[in-house]
Amino acid sequence: MKKLAVFLLIVLTWSIPIRGIGKWSNNTNFIFGFQNIASTTTLALDSAFVYETSGDAGVFIFNSPVSQTNAALTFYVYCTAASGTPSSSSMDIYASATTGDPQRPQAGASPLASSSNTSASGCTSASWLTYTIASVSLTAGQNYFLIVKNDTATPGSNNFTITTRSIISRLTGSTYGDYFRSCTTTDGITTDPTCQSTTVAPHGVIAFGDGTIIGNPFVASANSTSNTNYRGARYNFDEDVIVSGMTVNTSITTTITTTVEVYNGASQLDTVTKDLFSKGNNLSGFFASPVTFPGGTDIDVVIKPGSNSTGGTYVSIGNSPPADVQTSAGPVTYVNGATPGSFTETANQFIPMGLIIDTNPAISGGGGGCIIGGR
C-alpha cells in the first residue's frame, strides 16, 4: 500500500505542469492586438469615375454590423495630397451583387444613395475627408461598396490623393477578414477592384445611424524619443484576462540591456530581461509566469532600454481626426515615462503589440465571458 501511494504521488507530481498554459495560449494561437507596422498605400483620384466604364475611385467594401432604415451613414478617409483645386468630390454606396461577379456591385445597378459634396482642396496638407449620406437602408450581415470619387470637371488638373491601406498589419486574433476591405479601381470597376493584402489592415472609418463605428484609422508612425524611458501600450479590459506573453515587431540595439515589464500603476507584475536573439529580431516572448490583467484596471506593458534608444515605434491617426475617427482608434493607448505609476498616456496612438491570451478566469458570482478589448 505504501509503495502504491508513493507511485501515485510520483505520477501526480510528474503530471502537474510547473507553469500552466491556459486554453487560449496553447500553441500561442490566440493573440489580441496588432504586431507589425507596414506601410500605407495611396491612390490619386485624377480621372472622372463612371461606373462600369472608366476612371479612378477608392472602393471600400464592408459587411454591415447593423440593420437601419433611412438612417445616416458617414465615411472618413485620410487624404495626403492635392493638386489644383479639387473642390468637388462625393461617395456612392452600392449593394453587393446577387448575381454575376462577387467582387463587384451588381452589374448595371444604380447607387442606393450618394453623399453630399465634399471639398478636397484642403488636402494640400494631410487631413481627414468626411462623406455623409443622409439616408440609406442597410441589412445586417450584408455587404456594401462605398465608392469615393473626384467630381471636378477637370480631375486631371484638380485632384487629390487618398490613403487605401492602414499602416498596421493584422494578426490571427484581430483580423478583419472580409468584413471590411479597402480597395482601388482605375477602370471604373470594369474589372475587379484591387484590394489590400490579407496580411495588412484596411483603411477608413464608417459610422452608422445608431452610433456604431467600424474601421481602422492608423495612417502614420514615429519612433519613440531617444532616451531610457519606459515606452509601451496601456490596456484596460472589461473583465479579468490572464496573459501569457506578448509579441511586438520592434528591435533594440543588441548591446543595450532591455527588459519587457508589466505594471499595474507603480506595482510591477512581471519583468523579463531580453536575450540577444530577442533584441536583434523583436522583443517578443513569454512572461516569467502568466499575468492577470484585472478588469477595469489600467495595465501597462512596456519596453525599458538600459541606454538611450528610439526603439518602440508607435502608430497614430494623423492630423485633426474627427471624433468618430478618434473613437475608432480603440481603447489601447501609448504610454511613456521614466517612473512607473507616472507614465504619460497618449490616446489615439500605441506601440503595436500582440498579447498572448492565456485564459479568462471565472467571473465572481457567475455570468458571461470576457469581451476581449470591448468598450
Q: What pLDDT tens digit does each residue of the chain (375 aa) get? A: 444 343 333 333 333 344 466 777 776 667 787 767 888 899 999 999 999 999 999 999 999 999 999 999 999 999 999 999 999 999 999 999 999 899 999 999 999 999 999 999 999 999 999 999 999 999 999 999 999 999 999 999 999 999 999 888 765 444 456 688 899 999 999 999 998 766 667 899 999 999 999 988 999 999 999 999 999 999 999 999 999 998 887 767 878 888 999 999 999 999 999 888 888 778 888 898 899 999 999 999 999 999 999 988 899 999 999 999 999 998 899 999 999 999 999 999 989 888 988 887 766 544 444 333 332
Is the pTM higher than 0.75? The answer reads yes
Instruction: Please give the Cα distance from 207 to 73 (Å, whole number).
Output: 6
The per-residue pLDDT for 225 is 93
What local confidence, expressed as pLDDT, does residue 58 receive? 97
pLDDT at 7: 32
> Distance between CA 120 and CA 160 in Å, rounded?
7
User: Nearest-5° angle of CA 74, CA 161, CA 199?
Assistant: 75
Sign of the torsion angle spanned by Cα atoms 106, 203, 142, 111: negative
Positive or negative torsion for Cα 7, 12, 13, 15: positive
Domains of the chain: 26-36+221-359 (2.60.120), 41-218 (2.60.120)
| pLDDT value, residue 179 | 81
Query: Half-sphere exposure of 38 toward its Cβ, with a 13 Å CA cutoff?
Result: 20
